[in-house]
Amino acid sequence: MKIIISFFLLLTLTACASSANVTLIDRATGDIGRGTIDVSQYSGTMEIPIQGEVFSGPWAVMRTGTDTSYVATWGNQVGSITPTQTGAAGVGQSTMHAPSGRVIRCEFQYSIVGYVSVSSLGSCLSNDGHSYDFSAD
């Protein structure tokens, strides 16, 4: 019984933190592509189908800041305040390729709150001149 519960707990935790939804919107045509990003660490893979093609490729981010909260504790009338990290923020890039040879390069900013909620905004440009708005959550 313990093994089954542990397996489902591990499966649940893995599912919660392993991917995010990503959306590209072509600024000229309004075409929308929805895909996924592997968000397990500070780099991974991204895959987005748009305009009849599937673009995939690596992405990476660089942290530029953190959100910090403070926890106050009292013991024997002596107080202490301990900083605890609750999130991260930074910038990222991705270069995705389609089998046809088309390439989309994205630059974005991201924020992670409580290491659970990921949000990101940015822009992308393809090698054939299409410009896209980028968002992830």
List, for residues 106-130, the tens digit of each pLDDT value: 999 988 776 567 789 999 999 999 9
109: closest CA among 77, 134, 131? 134
Options 2.60.40, 2.40.128, 1.10.8, 1.10.287; which CATH number does 19-136 get? 2.40.128
Q: What is the pTM of this model?
A: 0.72
pLDDT tens string 62-109 = 888 655 554 545 555 555 555 555 677 889 999 999 999 999 999 999
Does the structure show a pLDDT above 50 at 25? Answer: yes
22 pLDDT band, cuts 50/70/90, is very high
Query: Is the dihedral angle over the CA atoms 118, 123, 125, 129 positive or is it negative?
Result: positive
Q: Name the residue ranges covered by the structural domains of the chain.
A: 19-136
CA atoms within 13 A on the CB side of 135: 6
